[in-house]
């Protein structure tokens, strides 16, 4: 079942932005899925590095800040799996899950096999995107392997406002709130929120290059679904999104951890099935259309309502 289940008793247009508590980790270790997801990320980066990563000298200060944030966060939150020791600018990293060790000098790229953010991103399940320090919050680089319907090439050089021009009217206030957050976000305080969708695949990489294929598959399969077949065919896709102001460069790190689980798996819990029904019934039409829920909502409602009542469990 999903580690993060952001469905309450009603549709929430704000999607619950809040400041992380002091003992919360910026980067979430979803241990059962860690190895396959990190290995998948590494394969994608090896296959087409430029598509999934953009860095360069203009982002280098921020990249080292991201590396520092990732390693310190993991070493504190999961010391049984990760350890970091330092002797001046000499850093020693041990990732026990991947059985990897690396010693390097902080700030010296010669000791790393990739650029700092690129290497650090290969230690975690999150996608990592950098946004400029000014009020426009322009996308300037990052490592993005598991996006839902977008890619770095689509957004580099575009502002936060520009990339949300297709946002449904109902959720525009949350976009405006996000824009304001970019301007007031303080270093040392990470804000997180969640986002959800329903997909007819559990593929993590749904970046732009896969959009046409996915849409064709959805169009062919969606009309065939009914209450008996929708459970294993549809997946709940959750994003845990974090926003962190980097202290020296001032750039904002946008982190996205994606979780997938089939509707059938989640509906094994009648309370989860009930909450899914409640949120879906309250979701405005423009949001259902935007998320492409409308073509599959009939079978989903029938299936979830039965599970919520305890039938078929």
Is 138 a member of any domain? yes
Q: Give the model's pLDDT for residue 171.
A: 67
Residue 250 lies in a domain: yes
Q: Which helix (H) or strand (E) holds 255?
A: strand 252-262
d(CA 92, CA 84): 6
Q: Give one word for 187, left, alpha or beta, with left for phi > 0 and alpha for psi -120 to 50.
A: beta
Residue 257 pLDDT > 50: yes
Q: Of the given ranges (155-159, 179-183, 230-234, 289-293), which has the lowest mean pLDDT?
A: 179-183
pLDDT at position 164: 76
Query: What confidence score (pLDDT) does residue 15 get?
Result: 61
User: What pLDDT is attached to residue 26?
Assistant: 97
Beta bridge partners of 258: 239
User: Does a structural domain hold residue 281?
Assistant: yes
Count the domains in the chain: 1
Instruction: Provide the strand spans (E) within 181-287.
Output: 191-199, 235-245, 252-262
Domain assignment present for residue 49? The answer is yes
Residue-level pLDDT at 51:
98
| Residue partners of 20: CB distance under 8 A and separation at least 6 | 26, 189, 190, 191, 192, 242
Please give the residue range of the domain that contains residue 42: 18-59+125-308
Order across the sheet with 90-95: list the strands: 82-87, 90-95, 100-105
Please report whether residue 191 resides in a domain. yes
How far apart are alpha carbons 273 and 45 in whole angstroms?
Answer: 37
Residue 2, in any domain of the structure: no
Residue 296 has pLDDT above 60, yes or no: yes
pLDDT recorded at residue 226: 98
Residue 177 has pLDDT above 80, yes or no: no
Mean pLDDT score across all residues of the chain:
93
Residue of higher predicted confidence among 22 and 194 = 194
Residue 312 has pLDDT above 50, yes or no: no
Residue 66 lies in a domain: no
- Is 97 among the domain residues? no
Phi, psi of 149, deg, nearest 5: 85, 15
Secondary structure (3-state) at 64:
helix
pLDDT of amino acid 85? 98
The reported pLDDT for the residue numbered 160 is 84
């Amino acid at each position: 079942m999903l580690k993060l289940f952001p469905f309450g008793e009603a549709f929430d247009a704000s999607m619950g932005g809040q400041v992380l508590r002091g003992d919360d980790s910026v980067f979430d270790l979803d241990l059962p899925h860690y190895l396959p997801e990190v290995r998948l990320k590494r394969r994608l980066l090896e296959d087409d590095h430029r598509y999934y990563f953009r860095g360069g000298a203009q982002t280098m200060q921020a990249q080292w800040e991201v590396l520092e944030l990732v390693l310190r966060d993991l070493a504190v939150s999961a010391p049984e799996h990760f350890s970091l020791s330092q002797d001046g600018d000499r850093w020693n990293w041990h990732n026990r899950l991947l059985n990897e060790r690396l010693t390097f000098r902080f700030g010296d790229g010669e000791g790393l096999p990739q650029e700092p953010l690129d290497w650090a991103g290969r230690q975690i399940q999150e996608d990592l995107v950098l946004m400029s320090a000014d009020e426009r919050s322009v996308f300037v680089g990052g490592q993005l392997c598991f996006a839902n319907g977008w890619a770095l090439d689509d957004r580099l050089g575009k502002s936060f406002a520009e990339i949300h021009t297709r946002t449904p009217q109902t959720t525009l206030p949350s976009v405006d709130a996000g824009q304001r957050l970019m301007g007031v976000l303080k270093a040392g305080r990470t804000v997180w929120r969640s986002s959800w969708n329903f997909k007819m695949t559990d593929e993590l990489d749904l970046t732009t290059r896969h959009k046409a294929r996915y849409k064709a598959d959805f169009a062919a399969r969606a009309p065939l679904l009914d209450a008996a077949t929708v459970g294993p065919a549809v997946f709940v896709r959750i994003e845990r999104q974090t926003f962190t102001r980097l202290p020296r460069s001032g750039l904002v790190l946008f982190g996205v951890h994606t979780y997938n689980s089939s509707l059938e798996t989640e509906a094994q819990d009648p309370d989860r099935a009930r909450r899914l029904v409640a949120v879906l019934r309250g979701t405005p039409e423009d949001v259902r259309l935007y998320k492409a829920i409308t073509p599959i909502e009939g079978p989903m409602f029938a299936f979830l309502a039965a599970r919520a009542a305890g039938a078929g469990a």
